[in-house]
């Protein structure tokens, strides 16, 4: 039996290990850096590096790597060994403070929005001491930030850390108004990770899955998710072994893997960790996605993290559970038993409503991707329209403010289920709303729009920054007030009324909500180009530069990179589609047509006067469909070629969204009509039934 407490964090150079291995004064200096952001002196870094190296070697490490998060959305690492040659031809194992603190990868070869030319290659990785190093396989991985030679952030970690600093500063100003002098305020996140598991051998036979992460073709199987029998069902024995291995591996890395279960769609599952400080949670989620894939391969499986790997069944998201806590352990989004009189909570809640309402565009852009566009608004995920769900109690509290009426609190009491053997249970003050993009769930907000393959760094950078910006406005107003209580009540009432339109407790899947949202003036940004069209709006540049989270140049970089990635993904998908049609689907159909034709000829030779009407009808249908598919493929090829002649990141992305994607959908529809009517042995690749039910 696994000794979980002993296993947990065993491959992480965490504070417990630091305290055990470092001299007392060195640990004290490092702790000051961890807790207060004090600069790390090189003398301290040298001692830390030596202890870290000795520990890592004991864990089997021979190399070290600065582990960072470039704008690709995945992690990067360059491995260097600890060996240092000696004059006598031998080697010793060394690791200096300089090597720990700073590295130098190539800044021009990573996405940079055109701000780094090939001849401008220098870039730097800088150790983030607030995120613990860990040993992965034979390498000591050191979490770092990544910037260019000119100091621009070329990664996702640096802006996130800046946003956390901004929120910390402004939240402390607000708390001081309530007589609280706290050392630090941090945001916390618990990302629920959805994913699909399929058999590796079947996966390897699908070019679309290998190249794009999703099926570009596939007829609906006879059974999908309509029976609701997959959700929370007993786990397949093969999946159990996978999850056991996954948990143990994650626990070694200090990841608080807590919940596991079958999700709604066949072959779909979920893993949820306990929340952590945001930057640590982001790092751990990046590691989690990597580990999920590696562990799957060990079991002859393949983990699919794409937002929509299969048409006709639910896609996968990553619910971002976000909150704010003080260094004293106070959750600032805890409403308490009497939220209607909890002025501090109401002020922070009001700040969040204002932030979400005024920055719908940036929140939508933060989760925009080619994969996630398949999900959002597709009756399986939150709509593309951003709104806030508060639950009955908080909705009633704020509604009383909007309407200027006294709040009447209903007693929550106990809920009696009806069977004597079952005990009464406390009734929650809020239900759950799975159709809401931004839902309050007890003492946190669940940002449900994030895609499963997404780095949650971007969404949390936006969340932290927009809330910090609003808190700054509130603090500026309230700090100079002669009558704080009166000014506070005035501010809350004014801002709740001004942003009441963003609150929606209803069904986000209902078509009527789209019309209602339009009446309210809410944005409905259906595609990535729709969302990114607002990214460089003046208000957004002002907000993020004033809060010193992004420079104007960094925002321009992110804009270019995100649109280029969107178009590149679709380019790969189109080229894969055309190759599969010409090399797999049409040849398979032609073989089947030839086989059926031969049976007709043979039948008529043996049975004079035989009509072979069923075979003839099938041949006529297949002939028509193959001809139509070839025609649609040619049209797709032409529109794809036209996309390559378009210039400008937004113009190219818009062309793909408006012209290429519809052509892809038309082409797929024909191919998916062919698949069910050709013989099993002629099918060019495993179908949905194989992939979803053969694990």
Q: Could you read off the pLDDT of 31-65 as tens digits, one per residue?
A: 888 777 677 888 999 999 999 999 999 999 999 99
| Residue 164 banded pLDDT, cuts 50, 70, 90 | very high
Q: What is the pLDDT of residues 400-409, one digit of tens each?
A: 888 888 777 7
- 118 band by pLDDT with thresholds 50, 70 and 90: low
Say yes or no to pLDDT of 412 above 60: no
Rounded-to-integer distance, Cα 289 and Cα 193, Å: 9
The answer on pLDDT for 410 being more than 60 is yes
List residues bridging with 147 in a β-sheet: 124, 153
Amino acid 116: pLDDT: 67
Contact (Cβ atoms closer than 8 angstroms) between residue 113 and residue 556 = yes
> How far apart (Å, rounded) are the C-alpha atoms in residues 536 and 539?
8
Q: Answer yes or no: is pLDDT of 432 > 90.
A: no
DSSP SS3 for 229 = coil
Alpha carbons 357 and 498: distance in angstroms, whole number: 9
How crowded is residue 638: how many other Cβ atoms within 10 Å of its Cβ?
Answer: 11
| CA 528 to chain CA mean position, Å | 15
Asked whether 116 and 148 are in contact (CB, 8 A), the reply is: yes
Q: So what's the pLDDT on residue 108?
A: 77
CA distance readout (Å), 663 to 214, 292, 411, 528, 666: 17, 34, 56, 18, 5
Q: Give the mean pLDDT of 243-247.
A: 96
CA distance 618 to 167: 66
Q: Kindly compute the dihedral angle of the four CA atoms of residues 497, 500, 501, 506, in this order, to the nearest 10 degrees.
A: -150
Mean pLDDT of 207-235: 92
Kindly state the tokens that stand for 343.
Answer: 């002025």
Residue 491: what pLDDT? 96
Is the model's pLDDT at 539 over the cut of 70? yes
Residue 521's pLDDT band (cuts 50, 70, 90): very high
Higher-pLDDT residue of 415 and 76 is: 76
Cα 435–Cα 440–Cα 445 angle in degrees, nearest 5: 100
Evaluate if residue 341 carries a pLDDT over 90.
no
At 109 the pLDDT is 82
3-state secondary structure (DSSP) of residue 28 = helix
| Average pLDDT rounded to a whole number, residues 125-154 | 92
> Residue 525, Cα to own-chain centre: how many angstroms?
18
Kindly report the pTM of this predicted structure: 0.94
Reply yes or no on whether the pLDDT at 580 is more than 90: yes
- Indicate if the pLDDT at residue 413 is higher than 80: no
Answer whether 297's CB lies under 8 Å from 200's CB: yes
Residue 246: what pLDDT? 97
Distance between CA atoms of residues 516 and 165, nearest Å:
37
**% the chain with pLDDT above 70:** 95
pLDDT at 424 over 70: no
- For range 511-525, the mean pLDDT: 94
pLDDT tens-digit series, residues 349-397: 999 999 999 999 999 999 999 999 999 866 677 889 999 999 988 999 9
Mean pLDDT across 585-612: 93
Give per-residue pLDDT as tens, 281-291.
999 999 999 99
Q: State yes or no: pLDDT of 457 exceeds 60.
A: yes
Is the pLDDT reported for residue 66 higher than 90? yes
Residue 517: its pLDDT value, please?
A: 95
Q: Ramachandran region of residue 110, left (φ > 0), alpha (ψ -120 to 50) or beta? A: beta
DSSP letter at 269 equals: E
**Does position 430 have pLDDT exceeding 70, yes or no?**
no
Output the pLDDT for position 635. 98
Tell me: pLDDT of 416 over 60. no
pLDDT value of residue 429:
54
pLDDT in tens, 248-267: 999 999 999 999 999 999 99
Whose tokens are 């002196």? That residue is 41
Helical packing angle, 457-479 and 278-298, nearest 10°? 170
**Tokens representing residue 663 in the block:** 């052509």
Q: Which of 306, 301, 290 is nearest to 239 (CA)?
A: 301
Over 80: is that where the pLDDT of 425 sits? no
- What rounded mean pLDDT belongs to the chain? 92
> Which DSSP helix (H) or strand (E) runs through 126?
strand 123-127
> How much is the pLDDT for 382?
85
């Amino acid at each position: 039996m696994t000794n979980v407490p002993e296993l947990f964090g065993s491959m992480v150079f965490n504070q417990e290990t630091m305290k055990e291995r470092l001299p007392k004064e060195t640990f004290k200096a490092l702790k000051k850096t961890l807790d207060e952001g004090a600069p790390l002196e090189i003398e301290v870094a040298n001692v830390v590096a030596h202890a870290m190296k000795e520990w890592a070697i004991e864990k089997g490490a021979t190399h070290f790597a600065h582990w960072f998060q470039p704008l690709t959305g995945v992690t990067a690492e360059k491995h260097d060994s600890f060996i240092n040659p000696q004059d006598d031809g031998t080697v010793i194992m060394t690791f200096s403070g300089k090597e720990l603190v700073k590295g130098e990868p190539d800044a021009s070869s990573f996405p940079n929005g055109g701000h780094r030319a090939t001849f401008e290659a220098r870039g730097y990785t800088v150790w983030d001491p607030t995120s613990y190093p860990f040993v992965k396989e034979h390498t000591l991985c050191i979490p770092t930030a990544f910037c260019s030679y000119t100091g621009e952030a070329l990664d996702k970690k640096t802006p996130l850390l800046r946003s956390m600093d901004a929120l910390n500063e402004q939240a402390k100003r607000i708390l001081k108004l309530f007589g609280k002098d706290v050392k630090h305020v941090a945001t916390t996140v618990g990302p629920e990770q959805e994913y699909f598991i399929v058999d590796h051998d079947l996966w390897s036979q699908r070019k679309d899955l290998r190249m794009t992460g999703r099926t570009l073709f596939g007829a609906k199987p006879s059974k999908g998710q309509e029976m609701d029998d997959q959700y929370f069902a007993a786990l397949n024995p093969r999946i159990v072994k996978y999850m056991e291995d996954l948990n143990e591996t994650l626990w070694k890395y200090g990841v608080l893997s807590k919940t596991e279960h079958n999700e709604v769609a066949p072959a779909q599952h979920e893993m949820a960790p306990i929340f952590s400080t945001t930057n640590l949670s982001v790092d751990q989620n990046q590691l989690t996605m990597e580990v999920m894939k590696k562990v799957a391969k060990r079991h002859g499986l393949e983990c699919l993290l794409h937002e929509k790997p299969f048409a006709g069944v639910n896609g996968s998201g990553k619910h971002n559970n976000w909150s704010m806590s003080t260094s004293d352990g106070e959750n600032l989004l805890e409403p308490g038993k009497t939220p209607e009189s909890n002025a501090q909570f109401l002020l922070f809640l009001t700040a969040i409503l204002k932030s979400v309402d005024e920055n719908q565009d940036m929140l939508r852009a933060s989760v925009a991707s080619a994969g996630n566009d398949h999900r959002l608004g597709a009756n399986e995920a939150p709509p593309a329209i951003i709104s806030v769900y508060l639950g009955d109690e908080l909705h009633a509290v704020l509604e009383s403010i909007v309407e200027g009426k006294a709040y009447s609190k209903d007693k929550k009491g106990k809920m009696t289920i009806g069977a004597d053997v079952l005990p009464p249970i406390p009734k929650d003050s809020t239900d759950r709303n799975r159709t809401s993009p931004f839902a309050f769930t007890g003492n946190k907000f669940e940002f449900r729009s994030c895609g499963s393959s997404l780095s949650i760094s971007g969404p949390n950078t936006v969340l932290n920054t927009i809330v910090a910006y609003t808190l700054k406005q509130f603090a500026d107003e309230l700090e100079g007030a002669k009558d704080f209580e009166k000014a506070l009540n005035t501010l809350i009432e004014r801002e709740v009324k001004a942003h009441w339109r963003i609150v929606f407790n209803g069904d986000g899947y209902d078509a009527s909500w789209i019309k209602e949202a339009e009446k309210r003036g809410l944005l409905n940004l259906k595609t990535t180009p729709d969302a990114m069209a607002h990214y460089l709006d003046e208000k957004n540049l002002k907000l993020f530069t004033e809060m010193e989270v992004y420079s104007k140049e960094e925002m321009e970089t992110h804009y270019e990179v995100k649109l280029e990635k969107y178009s590149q993904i679709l380019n790969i998908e189109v080229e894969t589609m055309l190759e599969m049609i010409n090399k797999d689907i049409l040849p398979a159909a032609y073989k089947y047509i030839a086989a059926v034709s031969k049976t007709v000829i043979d039948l008529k030779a043996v049975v004079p006067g035989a009509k072979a009407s069923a075979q003839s009808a099938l041949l006529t249908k297949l002939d028509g469909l193959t001809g139509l598919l070839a025609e649609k493929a040619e049209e797709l090829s032409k529109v794809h070629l036209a996309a390559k002649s378009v210039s400008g990141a937004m113009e190219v992305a818009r062309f793909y969204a408006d012209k290429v994607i519809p052509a892809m959908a038309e082409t797929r529809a024909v191919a998916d009509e062919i698949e069910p009517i050709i013989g099993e042995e002629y099918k060019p690749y495993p179908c949905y039934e194989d992939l979803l039910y053969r694990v």
